[in-house]
Structure 1
Amino acid sequence: MSKIAVLGAGSWGTTLANMLCTKGLKVSMWAREKELVQEIKKKGENTWYLPGYSLESRLEVSHEPDEVLHGVDYCLVVIPCQFMRKVLEDFKDLFLDNPVIICASKGIELTTLKPQSSVISEALRGKNPRYSVVSGPSFADEVSRKLPTAVSLGCEDQELGARLQEILSTDFFRVYFNADYRGVELGGALKNIMAIAAGIADGLEFGHDARAALITRGLVEMSRFGVALGGKEKTFMGLSGMGDLVLTCTGDLSRNRQVGLELGRGKTLDDILKVRKTVAEGVKTTESVYRLSKDLHVEMPITEQVYNVLFEQKDPRSAVEELMTRALKVEQ
């Protein structure tokens, strides 16, 4: 029986760990907080991040990384993007050589402007990790309810990718293989910026037309940026691009859309983040992508306006109006 370690006990990490455990796999999950481990063991539920869902009694949960990583075949990392490098560097000596890493986190590291594949490779330098990434339109709440969901698995190694497809797929969680791991991971990161933009428009009550325009032009931006970093344009038309974009720009469970909604309704970013327990990766990713787009000379008008609202205190209404009054162009 395959043993899988899950690093990260937030809503998504807990959902995936429990789903795989339900499938019959041996799963151990690492949580940073000792109190959370005790809570899960006591109540059989992650009341902090995934309340209302009973967890499999066979799911092992620990605060000790050596217990979780001992003898594992696959490691599913679901650590917030900006903390990924530090955690993996701290745990590096616990990994065997050539570990199989399945990344389920989304974002671009702010300090280095690097995607998760590069961060993981550098953090585990010398271990020669085999990288894959799972991304697509998937809310933890809906997957926990076993509602039909389809995602992409990005992996350069087709043989390994096919194996991981089988491991991760269930009768309600369908996994498609895609050799373009860079496109898959970037789609998952970039769509969070567009979700903030769509939320701002909705918060301003600009209507369905505006939201549809932002989604469509947002996809153009995502593709343009992704190709500049080595992804394939076609990938952004799939589940990890357009699929995840539509979900996060329209679904009320989207944390990034909720941030945008509150901004559109007049709240400041500081006030919004103070009361949030879960991470909205799109905030940091906006800063990373904005800076990187300038270095790469990639035009990203929506990202630029979201950045201005988040970090330059620009009025959200002015930001949207400025997008609408840009120089007229040919659609491409």
Structure 2
Amino acid sequence: MDLLRSLPLGLYLEQPITWMHRLDPRVKLAWLMSFLATPLLASAEWRLLLVGVLIVLTLASRIPLRVWRQQMGWLLLLAVYVFSLVAIAPDGLSVEPRPRLPENELAFVQQPNTVPKPAPPQSWFNPFQAAPKEQTQLANQLKRPELRQPTDYQYVVFQRGPIRVTRRSLDLAIRVGTLLFTLIYSTNLFLLTTAPEEVTAGLEDLMRPLRRFNIPVTEVALTLTLSLRFIPLVLEEFQNLIRSIRTRAINWKKLGFRRTIQVCLSVAERLLQNLLLRAEQIASAMKVRGFTSPNQHRVEWHQLILKRFDWLALVVLGGFWAARLAFG
């Protein structure tokens, strides 16, 4: 199962058990939805604050360094890379419009009614010849007077050579980078401290009012539980097939494109057959144990009871949303 241990995201940390493990899964689902919903239409300061809150929660929960360094490190590098790429990209507002009307309409109206005589034609054309004095004076009159900037506001934040960072590109870079980190890492932190059975139990409890509309909530929760349990089996079968191919020492360069495709199709067929066999074994095991319907054979892995620490987390969540509405 080396493939499962090498995956950096989406793993459940069994040991050590931190205070985030002891939280009720419904409370953690509420916090997760809050982290996913509050960045919408939020300011850049609030988005940066969310990133800081996630990092502080990771450090305060005393998750081992080997775990969050592998999961948070690459994600931070990806967020910084996206931030720098979007910051130096064109913001779309640097297009120079050309007005149809004169720049200085007052000077244009005050021109004399008599049209100046055209310059005599030259015997030969010289593109580098300077313009006549009358045309230069007329162009100077029609220019709009330069106004001094009343404040220290600058649209261009940084510019050196071809690299140009504007206020709009900087704001867009902060939004994209922080949103990428918040969406991925908040979900990963939830899966890191919540067992798959707790996730399904919390979802089933929160979806209980949907039973009034004849929605099979228990069947949905059971299907989700089986799918979460089936993912490691899929990865294990895939890893076993890869190891079987490596032991045969196939020379892919001599096979050619056509034979390589045939080998890949045969491996995919074998993988599908093994997965169907595993699914049939799980179904047979459920039938042997007398499983007929989820409502009659419910297995409670966890008793969902809100404790004192859970209520404290809900109170902090209320303050979190109040701060978002007031300052975010």
TM-score, structure 2 as length reference: 0.22
TM-score, structure 1 as length reference: 0.22
Answer with 1 or 2: which has the greater Rg.
2
Q: Name the structure, 1 or 2, with higher relative contact order (CA <8 Å, separation 6+).
A: 2
Say which structure is richer in strand: 1
